[in-house]
Amino acid sequence: MRSYLFNSIGKTQEEFSGYQEKIVDFRNKWVVHFDPNYIHPAVPFYDIAHDSAVALHC
């Protein structure tokens, strides 16, 4: 299943894991549990998350 996912989105496991870490960190510190000291360069793009959901749904 993971190999299908990574092939479908065109990412390696390492790339996906790095992306996932950034998204979860942003969610935890900005969206869900607001931390006013959390500094982030920009709101992360959710394109990989979207593509992953579509691939797994198919």
Question: How many whole angstroms separate alpha carbon 41 and alpha carbon 20?
Answer: 16
pLDDT of residue 41: 80
pLDDT of residue 40: 83
Question: How many whole angstroms separate alpha carbon 26 and alpha carbon 33?
Answer: 10
pTM: 0.81
pLDDT of residue 23: 94
58 contact partners, CB below 8 Å, separation of at least 6: none
pLDDT of residue 58: 87
Quote the DSSP letter at residue 54: H
Q: What are 17-54's pLDDT values in tens digits?
A: 999 999 999 999 999 999 999 988 888 899 999 999 99
- Could you give the number of structural domains in the chain? 1
* Long-range contacts formed by 47-50: CB under 8 A, 24+ apart: 48/9, 48/11, 48/16, 48/19, 49/23
Domain of 48, in residue numbers: 2-57
